[in-house]
Amino acid sequence: MKISLVIHMLALVDEFQDARAVIREFERLIEHYDLRYYALYQRSQPDGITTRISLTALTERWPDGWQKTYAERSYRLIDPVFLQIGSRSQGFRWRDATTASVSAALRRRIDRMLGEARARGLADGYAFPIHSARGLAGGLVLGGNSVDLGPVEIALFETLARKLFWRLQAPEEATPAVALTQREEETLHYLADGMTSAEIGQRLSISVHTVDWYVNRLQMKLQARNRHHAVARAFRLGLLT
């Protein structure tokens, strides 16, 4: 079954030492689903929520000539997938994003874009938003023939999107190896679960003041601006999975 291929890929993401090997295996996977084209994006404006999401591709593969056409005709500004990916919490199908009510002029431009996409082998696809503690972090977009993914497959691809993103995302400035105490590790994991200082204090049987002291230590060691940034940095450094 194809589902077993996705599960196998989930296990392999952390096994490969070479990011290029991860990409090759991922490309083989989506070809089994007849979704040959893709892009894994990282948000390039991480602070705040804006009406227009700016995403930069970490890795991508599109039909010959499509990126040039897409850029020259400014399709990013009207692409229903990009107009909705910032407000979605779960994966969605391209065609579901095109049903929103828009003006007649915009509908004509969208229909033209979709027609050109179909002509290049992009009949339909799926988009999987990737969120961090600070909001939208990026997204995985898959395109190709019209494929019906079941709920389990969509859930698996959502998980795979997150694992690929944290594995392949553009690194931040070089950071020395971070050594955490056991208490700091426990605090970090509870922060990643979204707990408040009071909740962490209850879980660890320590005062809120002590929790905040551990949080400040984590922010200092991870060179983070705040606790949300500390969690994001920890993911990037492999301290959280």
Q: Return the HEC string of the chain.
A: CHHHHHHHHHHHCCCCCCHHHHHHHHHHHHHHCCCCEEEEEEECCCCCCCCCCCEEEEEEECCCCHHHHHHHCCHHHCCHHHHHCCCCCCCEEHHHHCCCCCCHHHHHHHHHHHHHHHHCCCCEEEEEEEEECCEEEEEEEEEECCCCCCHHHHHHHHHHHHHHHHHHCCCCCCCCCCCCCHHHHHHHHHHHCCCCHHHHHHHHCCCHHHHHHHHHHHHHHCCCCCHHHHHHHHHHCCCCC
Q: How far is CA 37 from CA 34, 64, 105, 145, 241, in A?
A: 9, 11, 28, 10, 27
Comparing CA positions, the residue from 196, 181, 194, 188 lying closest to residue 237 is 188
For residues 1-6, average pLDDT: 85
Does 139 map to a domain?
A: yes
Question: Does 195 or 17 have the greater pLDDT score?
Answer: 195
For residue 199, count other CB atoms closer than 10 A to its CB. 14
CA dihedral 160, 36, 70, 161 (to 10 degrees): 0
Structural domain that includes position 75: 2-26+35-168
pLDDT at residue 177 in the model: 63
- 83 and 141 fall within a common domain: yes
- 146 and 189 fall within a common domain: no
For residues 24-52, average pLDDT: 80
The whole-angstrom separation of Cα 60 and Cα 41 is 8
User: In which band, very low, low, confident or very high, does the pLDDT at 51 lie, cut at 50, 70 and 90?
Assistant: very low
Mean pLDDT of the chain: 87
- 163 and 216 fall within a common domain: no
- 112 and 215 fall within a common domain: no
Q: 61 has which bridge partners? A: 38
Query: Number of structural domains, the chain?
Result: 2
pLDDT at 35 over 70: yes
User: In which band, very low, low, confident or very high, does the pLDDT at 219 lie, cut at 50, 70 and 90?
Assistant: confident
Are 194 and 133 spatial neighbours (Cβ–Cβ below 8 Å)?
Answer: yes
Please give the order of strands across the beta sheet that includes 92-93. Answer: 55-61, 37-43, 135-144, 124-132, 92-93
Question: Does 168 or 139 have the greater pLDDT score?
Answer: 139
- 62 and 156 fall within a common domain: yes
- 194 and 122 fall within a common domain: no
Residue 204: give its domain's CATH number: 1.10.10.10
Name residue, tokens 């991480």: 46
pLDDT at residue 148 in the model: 95
Does 177 map to a domain?
A: no
pTM for the complete prediction?
0.68
Comparing CA positions, the residue from 147, 131, 129, 149 lying closest to residue 139 is 129
